[in-house]
Structure 1
Amino acid sequence: MDAVEPIVRIVEWTGIAIIVAGSFGSLAVFAARALRQGFSERIYEEFRSTLGRSILLGLEFLVAADIVGTVAIEPTLDSLAVLAGIVLIRTFLSFSLEVEIEGRWPWQQQEPRSGGGGAEGD
């Protein structure tokens, strides 16, 4: 079990690094585009979307580290209860971020965009 703890720490630090790098990276892209093209709602929305996606990815790594750490290192009822609370909170955060990014719940179908008449180009 001693070998698992460093792995858990690496996964946790990876999640933190993803959030930090994604935050600064999306901020740098946002600032460069805003300076080059001028501030627009589209650039702001893309910034929020990119920032949200990096936070979501980082949260996934942090949840994975919590799961591995709890199951492999301390499999007690108390630690499982704490893990359930952590996963519940982080899942709520993930769903909230998903709604902010996509503008809909993950299980809802995406509504077709009106006015363009063509195919979407994502």
Structure 2
Amino acid sequence: MSQLLQTISNIISYVSIAIICYGAVIGLFKFINNEFGRFNRSFSLEKTVQIKIEVGYYLLLGLEFLIASDIIDTILNPSFEDLGILAGTVLIRTGLSFFLNKEIENIAKNDPLKD
């Protein structure tokens, strides 16, 4: 059972990395496409803001999966050292998630380019 949970934790970690990388690659391609729009006058600052929001969502989702993986790892190896590492990791990732989410909400709410 322990080996199965460790495998699941590893899969969740890889999935989280894949989500973050996927979001970054998609965001990069969209950003480059938008920047090339400067040459044919189809560039849009609104698209840049939307790309930032979209990449932020992928980052948040990936961070949530990483926290889930860390929790499973700590359940499997419940030493005080592992609990301390988990607490620090969850605190940092939760802080990143909180402030990234606030930034995304602020951008979406205060977008001067909205109709």
Q: TM-score category by the smaller chain?
A: 0.7 to 0.9
Moved more, 86-95 or 19-28: 19-28
The residue type paired with residue 91 of structure 1 is T
Provide the residue aligned with 2:16 in structure 1: 15
Select 2:44's aligned residue among 32, 40, 44: 40
Give identity over the alignment, percent.
Answer: 37
The residue type paired with residue 5 of structure 2 is V
- 1:60 equivalenced with 2:64 (yes/no): yes
Q: Which runs of at least 4 in structure 1 moved beyond 3 Å after TM superposition?
A: 33-37
- The structure that is helix-richer by fraction is 2
RMSD of aligned alpha carbons: 2.3
Partner Cα separation in structure 1 for residue 42 and residue 53 of structure 2: 18
**Normalising by the residue count of structure 2, what TM-score does the alignment of the two structures yield?**
0.82
Which structure has the higher relative contact order (CA within 8 Å, separation 6+)? 2
The residue type paired with residue 63 of structure 2 is L
The residue type paired with residue 80 of structure 2 is L
Partner Cα separation in structure 2 for residue 103 and residue 92 of structure 1: 16
**Normalising by the residue count of structure 1, what TM-score does the alignment of the two structures yield?**
0.77
Provide the residue aligned with 2:94 in structure 1: 91
Answer yes or no: is the 8 Å Cα contact 2:34–2:48 preserved in 1.
no
